[in-house]
Amino acid sequence: MLLIVGPPTISLGHNKKASIMKKVLIFTSIMSSISLACYGADDLFDEGLWELSPEELGQIRVTSIASGTPTPLDKAAAVATVITAEDIEKMGATELDDVLETVPGLHVNKSFQAYFAKYTFRGISGSTYNPQALLLINGTPLTTLAIGNRYTIWGGMPVKSISRIEVIRGPGSALYGADAFAGVINVITKTARDIEGTQVGAGAGSFDTYSSWVSHGSKSGDLEIGVTLEYTDTKGQDGTIEEDQQSAFDTLSGLNDSHAPGEVNLGRQQAEAHLDVKYKEFNLRAGYQGRYHVQTGAGVAQALDPEGEYKSNRALIELLHTNKDWFKDWEISSQISYFFGEQDPTSTSVIFPTTFGGAFPDRVLAEPGYKEEHVRVQVSSIFKGFDQHIVRAGLGYFWGDVFETTELKNFLQDPDGNLVPNPGGFEEFADKDEVWLPEKDRTSHFVFVQDEWQFSENWLLTSGLRYDHYSDFGDTSNPRVALVWATTDTVTTKLLYGRAFRAPSFLELFAISNPVSLGNPNLDPETIDSYEFAVSYQPNNDLSLSGNIFYYQIHDFIQFVDNKAENAGKRKGRGFEIEASYRFNESLTASGNYAYQRSTDEDTNTDVGDAPNHQIYGKLGYDFSKDFFLTTQINWIGKQERIDGDERDPVSSYATVDLAVKRRNFVPGLDLSLSIRNLFDKDGFEPSPGPAAAIPGDLPLPGRNIYGEIAYNF
């Protein structure tokens, strides 16, 4: 599919010396890489591919997320989106979530807990924790075993280290395993080639936001080193929660303990570090994400808490090796990685700011925490010895351990789930039966095979199957089939099928004595089957149009019902997405997309809610010169229905308009930029959980905010 931001892609018609599908096979043969990182335009030019000019090559959009091998976007075996660092720069985005909101069919909802981002693909909204969306960094999952998401203390991700973002809308378990359920997001960080030199910069903006960064890339012989360091400190937006869970308690008891009306608490500090070292056939990558003094948003239990704070530390190191010379027609790649993550309180969370009539003299307090570590080993191969085939196969092993689960608290829960005072007061429950989550581990191993077969001049069939075995859930097999037809010189047609599987997280299975979420050891895994039909049309290098329709069925979807995890039954969804891009001249470009979805519960035939049925995005960019550009964009989110049993009116639609301007080399080496988000200061809200509606007025989004940057390049 075509890009929704930036210039149109190059047309790959028959006039380029070979059939369209033949070029796709040549392209993927040249560019195959287990690392899921794409070559730049200069690398393609060095290969002499199609004898295109460097300028033309620079406009080719390539994705590797769809099949594991880089492929022109409109020929990829999935409905995919690619966003580059240049696109991010031009839209003035400072956070990953700002970028993802431009992807058709993907909406960034907010959780009440620390405003954790929920990546909602095609109406698959999931629970508070959003485990159905898989986030990769350089192809390695950032999923926690404990909760199943990217850590509740996610805190966002700044963008200075990002080279490109690739997104699949739809299941990806045939390549990425059981967590690639509703969609896959792969964030590819910058290498030495992307950075080329040294840049230092600083920024400041609304909500007392301050940031700084430094990046450096260098090459000496066969050694390439790229490093990016970023730091941000912000108080977060100042939206107001009018009523919360404590407000309801106050109404019943006649007390006045709630902090509502009050500001949502979104202060945080964050540090980001990424290192990429390449030497011949070896690639060492390391990353660190630190989040400190992260406030609790609308509260851990939907009661405003200006006191609670948490920290999260995540570190990943991986070594990759790729060899093309060991065997004829074979490329062998291997990867080993180690991940460590922790989430701990730095200030006691006030779960409920009341004594409940003296039962809790110090209010209801808790300090939950945990650590976990993962080891992944994978070997993959690409065989190109068959005529008209590229065969990819691999196997791997995963071990994960959740350990040192800790919890200081002054409450317990009775069999009916009601909070009762702990006889020992505020005490540590680590290694006790009442700790919020017991320590657990999980292992799995997998094997997969995929074939890309050009069985006719303009037809390419990609088929694959992945088998996973889990130590606690047994076996799962997930197939995928993608038929791509170069219908004419300007039209490409796709027919896609995929299945995905998701094992419950440890929190969904084992959480106990928890006022927010209780586990259920009898849960079954979730499964989804998805069907898609897509068409893209590109008559020239200035105009691109595309569209797709989709249908999916979900079995055993996991939700929290009355705070307890349950397999909520069957869901089905359908919808379509349309994208367009047009270049009026060398300076002016426009792009946009529209997405519609309806996801329903098959038992009640009602909308599952908590996701917009309609989304519209549009962008207009004007380049005064290669170093001076202005971009404006509009993002309209349609109304969001409530979940079954929630009697509130739907969440109203809202629209935001953003403006960004950048001047590179204002003086030699000095760059200046300014962005304004929500230019017209429009109100917007994301749904608070129902059906009890502890926060009846929903979760407010930021008003108008301004951010400026200055950077110097050495």
Closest C-alpha among 30, 35, 44 to residue 188 = 35
User: C-alpha 602: how far from its chain's center?
Assistant: 27
d(CA 63, CA 79): 11
Pairing of strands 133-137, 183-189: parallel
Q: Is 510 helix (H, G, I), strand (E, B) or coil?
A: helix
d(CA 54, CA 42): 7
pLDDT of residue 60: 61
pLDDT of residue 607: 92
Structural domains of the chain sorted by starting position, each given as residue range(s) with its CATH number in brackets = 14-713 (2.40.170.20)
Residue type, 558: I
Kindly give, in sequence order, each residue whose CB lies less than 8 Å from that of residue 327, ignoring residues fewer than 6 positions away: none
d(CA 55, CA 53): 5
Kindly give, in sequence order, each residue whose CB lies less than 8 Å from that of residue 605, ignoring residues fewer than 6 positions away: none
Residue with tokens 């070896």: 282
User: Is the CB of residue 71 less than 8 Å from the CB of residue 12?
Assistant: no
N-terminal to C-terminal alpha carbon distance within the chain = 37
pLDDT of residue 5: 33
> What string of DSSP letters covers 51-120?
G--HHHHTT--EESTTTSS-EEGGGSSS-EEEEEHHHHHHHT--BHHHHHTTSTTEEEEE-TBTT-EEEE
> What string of DSSP letters covers 198-222?
EEEEEEEETTTEEEEEEEEEEEETT
d(CA 55, CA 274): 29
Residue type, 277: V
DSSP 187: E
Question: Which stretches of the chain score pLDDT less than 50?
Answer: 1-58
pLDDT of residue 173: 87
pLDDT of residue 417: 75
**pTM score, whole prediction:** 0.91
Kindly give, in sequence order, each residue whose CB lies less than 8 Å from that of residue 242, ignoring residues fewer than 6 positions away: 260, 261, 696, 697
Kindly give, in sequence order, each residue whose CB lies less than 8 Å from that of residue 70, ignoring residues fewer than 6 positions away: 27, 28, 31, 32, 33, 38, 39, 62, 63, 64
pLDDT tens across 641-670, in order? 998 889 999 999 999 999 999 999 999 999
pLDDT of residue 561: 81
Closest C-alpha among 161, 285, 317 to residue 229 = 161
User: Is the CB of residue 473 less than 8 Å from the CB of residue 151?
Assistant: no
CB count in 10 Å sphere of residue 555: 15
pLDDT tens across 82-134, in order? 999 999 999 999 999 999 999 999 999 999 999 999 999 999 986 678 889 99
Write out the two tokens for 78. Answer: 């999935």
